Structure 1
Amino acid sequence: MHVVVTEYNDNWRQMFREESRKIKRIFVDELIDIHHIGSTSVPGLQAKPIIDIMPVVKDIEKIDSFNEQMAGLGYECMGELGMKGRRYFRKGGDNRTHQVHVFQVDNKEDINRHLAVRDYLRTHSEEVKQYGNLKENLAKQFPNDITAYMDGKDAFVKELERIALRWYRNI
């Protein structure tokens, strides 16, 4: 997968809204909420242009019954893909455009981690700048190695998650 990090794009919000409407029509009564997460959800943050969507559902086991409908939207159904209690879908193959991370409503740890990082970055511009610069530099250093790119962000992201979660619990 080619690693491309771009400047923030205002169209990402609309892309999230459009795709979330389609997902809502599939998950219907199972859906409790749906969130735009990840770097494209943070105004001003440089990002890989991939829209991350986090539906929160009543029963994660029932999501497997929607795999065919999600495939109809162009998603590859990946199951848990290394994260217990999640259902992961990706769209676009090597030119990925969307990722869907589905969690059951009582999975507060994963849900709060994603929301905490998003909300923390939305209110802390210095960290947005640091994170964006790191991602831009890693993308230049590893343009054809997504694993090296992800490994290069790992320590920063873990520390960001720790700080963001502490902040999130206090707001």
Structure 2
Amino acid sequence: MSLTSPIKPYDPTWPQQYAEEEARLKLIFGLVLIEIHHVGSTAVPDLAAKGEIDVLAVVKSDRGLENWSRSLVELGYRRGGDLSLGHHFFKRDLNGIRTHKLHVCLDGHRQIGPMLKFRDHLRRDGGDRSRYQELKLRLERENASGIQQYLAAKDPFIQDILAKLD
């Protein structure tokens, strides 16, 4: 079974795609936005990835969630399930292919640090970046049941890296 989109070689336009999306998203969150980041594999130069731009928006409060959801629909997003309390998820597809994933986390959420640490580590460490890329490509080839299988199979590698960084 295929993933939400195929893994392809690093595309040097991904940072610009992120920057364009960041500008659109900042308008939606306004003053409640603390910071916004390009995360995930498209944020790591020279790393093959599904061409899905991952965005992490850190907010002071999620009391505006219903309003954000309506505004995000106007930008082509749809609501995904919450990944945990205080971690809201949105996704955007174009012609049936996922193009963007948006993680909206309350300030201090336990997922913020690991997302940024893993991204920053892969930006610095070419060996781990190569090993991660090889793992992702192998998992894509072997995938039989879709994105959840792929994500679960990547997690031990990610957790091992994060444990070494602490």
Counterpart contact for 2:118–2:158, Cα < 8 Å: no
Aligned residue in 2 for 1:86: 87
Q: CA deviation at 1:136?
A: 0.7
Matched to 1:88, the amino acid is F
Q: CA deviation at 1:104?
A: 1.4
Give matches, 1:6-85, under 5 Å: 6-80=8-82, 82-85=83-86
Deviates more, 1:127-136 or 1:154-163: 154-163
Matched to 1:2, the amino acid is S
The separation in 1 between residues aligned to 2:67 and 2:81, in whole angstroms, is: 11
Q: Across the two proteins, how many residue pairs are aligned to each other? A: 163
Q: CA deviation at 1:144?
A: 6.2
Matched to 1:59, the amino acid is S
The separation in 1 between residues aligned to 2:86 and 2:163, in whole angstroms, is: 21
Give matches, 1:98-109, under 5 Å: 98-107=100-109, 109=110
Aligned residue in 1 for 2:113: 112
Percent identity among equivalent residues?
33
Aligned residue in 1 for 2:147: 146
Q: TM-score, normalised by structure 2?
A: 0.90
Q: TM-score, normalised by structure 1?
A: 0.88
Unaligned runs of 5+ in 2: none
Query: Which whole-Å deviations, capped at 9, do the CAs of 1:28-64 have from their partners, x for residues lacking one?
Result: 1111111000111011111111100001111023233
The separation in 2 between residues aligned to 1:151 and 1:89, in whole angstroms, is: 20
Deviates more, 1:117-126 or 1:58-67: 58-67
The separation in 1 between residues aligned to 2:65 and 2:81, in whole angstroms, is: 10
Please provide the CA RMSD for this pair: 1.7
Which protein is richer in helix relative to its size?
1
Counterpart contact for 1:27–1:63, Cα < 8 Å: no
- Write out the 4+ residue segments of structure 1 that deviate beyond 3 Å after TM superposition: none
